[in-house]
């Protein structure tokens, strides 16, 4: 599957080793690229107790997976609003380590490293170039014509 992978310039905090310099892209990306997505899986490190508690209140399902806890969240109106407006951590980056967005059962967007690594799947080169324009301080971006799993 064609896709673009973007690595943003990063910094760190006491609790996070890699976060984007800024998250100005978040709301625009959310409004423009997640409209048709049905669900999101969010992974938190088990020691992120506050984030786990927060996601527990909106998730349809959760699962312990070793060092991380996985939450599956349906993207209804309330959850969309909450995630769009409450995902940025006041200490930097996104609150959660990894997010996988799904359109039906196909992963369409992946956001990792607290928002510093972004992959958008199923896009042509022109769409990938437009997507890339959302981001500030890109360290590296690459477009792929195939995705081999």
Q: What is the pLDDT of residues 6-36, one digit of tens each?
A: 999 999 888 888 899 999 999 999 999 999 9
Contact 71, 44 (CB under 8 A): yes
Q: Please name the residue that has the structure tokens 């760190």.
A: 12
Mean of pLDDT over the chain: 94
pLDDT tens for 52-64 read: 999 999 999 999 9
119: CB partners within 8 A, 6+ apart: 3, 4, 5, 6, 109, 110, 111, 112
Q: Please name the residue that has the structure tokens 């996985």.
A: 70
Kindly list the distances between the CA atom of residue 144 and the CA atoms of 34, 98, 127, 128, in Å, as whole numbers in the listed order: 21, 21, 12, 10
Tell whether the model's pLDDT for residue 148 goes beyond 60: no
pLDDT bracket for residue 147 (50, 70, 90): low
Single pTM value for the model: 0.94
N-term to C-term CA, the chain: 10
Task: Report percent pLDDT > 90 for the chain.
Answer: 89
Question: 48-55: long-range contacts (C-beta < 8 A, 24 or more apart)?
Answer: 48/96, 48/97, 51/95, 51/96, 54/95, 55/96
CA 56 to chain centre: 18
Contact 143, 128 (CB under 8 A): yes
pLDDT at 42: 98
């Amino acid at each position: 599957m064609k896709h673009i992978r973007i690595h943003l310039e990063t910094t760190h905090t006491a609790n996070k080793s890699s976060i984007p310099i800024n998250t100005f892209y978040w709301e625009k990306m959310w409004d423009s690229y997640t409209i048709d997505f049905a669900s999101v899986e969010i992974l938190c490190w088990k020691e992120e107790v506050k984030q786990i508690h927060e996601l527990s209140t909106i998730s349809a399902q959760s699962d312990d997976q070793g060092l991380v806890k996985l939450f599956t969240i349906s993207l209804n109106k309330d959850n969309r609003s909450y995630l769009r407006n409450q995902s940025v951590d006041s200490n930097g980056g996104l609150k959660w380590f990894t997010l996988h967005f799904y359109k039906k059962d196909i992963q369409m967007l992946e956001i990792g490293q607290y928002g510093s690594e972004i992959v958008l799947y199923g896009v042509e080169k022109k769409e990938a170039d437009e997507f890339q324009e959302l981001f500030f301080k890109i360290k590296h971006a690459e477009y792929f014509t195939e995705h081999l799993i």
